[in-house]
Amino acid sequence: MATEVPPQRNGRGTDPGPGASSTGAGPAPERFVEVQRGEEFGELRRTYRSFAFPLTIAFIAWYLLYVLLSNYAGGFMAIRLFGHINVALVLGLGQFATTFLIAWLYSRHAARRLDPRAEAIKARMEGDA
């Protein structure tokens, strides 16, 4: 059973037409493409990627190291460090710690470097509308 969605209307009860938003207040789709191709947006994307990609690769490598050690270095992972705490448990808890550390670092990075640039782009686009 297909559900048909009625076309969005602007305040005057008519279709907004091509290139206009449903409220009539937003930028045209062509403007989004123009901004996306611009230098400022490219810099925002580079700033994001320069943080996200290296940390993602580092975390995947760290995770794979843990998995490989668990599978192929059982003797090493079984070494008791103190009491009933062994290397495997410490490294496993380290996985959780690094997950939270990366999330915290990213939120800090985004607040300092990404959000101000994104807000500037958004404000400029909304001002052009």
pLDDT by residue (tens digit) across 17-45? 444 445 556 777 788 888 888 899 899 99
- Per-residue pLDDT at 125: 84
Q: Which residue has the tokens 């079984």?
A: 78
Q: What does pTM read for this prediction? A: 0.69
Q: Where does the chain have alpha helices with state H?
A: 29-37, 39-72, 74-77, 87-109, 115-128
Other CB atoms within 10 A of residue 44 CB? 19
81 membership: H or E segment, kind and range: strand 80-82
10 Å CB burial of residue 59 (0-12, 13-18, 19+) is middle
Q: What percent of the chain has pLDDT over 70?
A: 79
Does residue 88 have a pLDDT over 90?
yes
Name the DSSP letter for residue 38.
Answer: S
The per-residue pLDDT for range 7-16, each reduced to its tens digit, is: 554 444 444 4
Name the DSSP letter for residue 47.
Answer: H
- Per-residue pLDDT at 126: 83
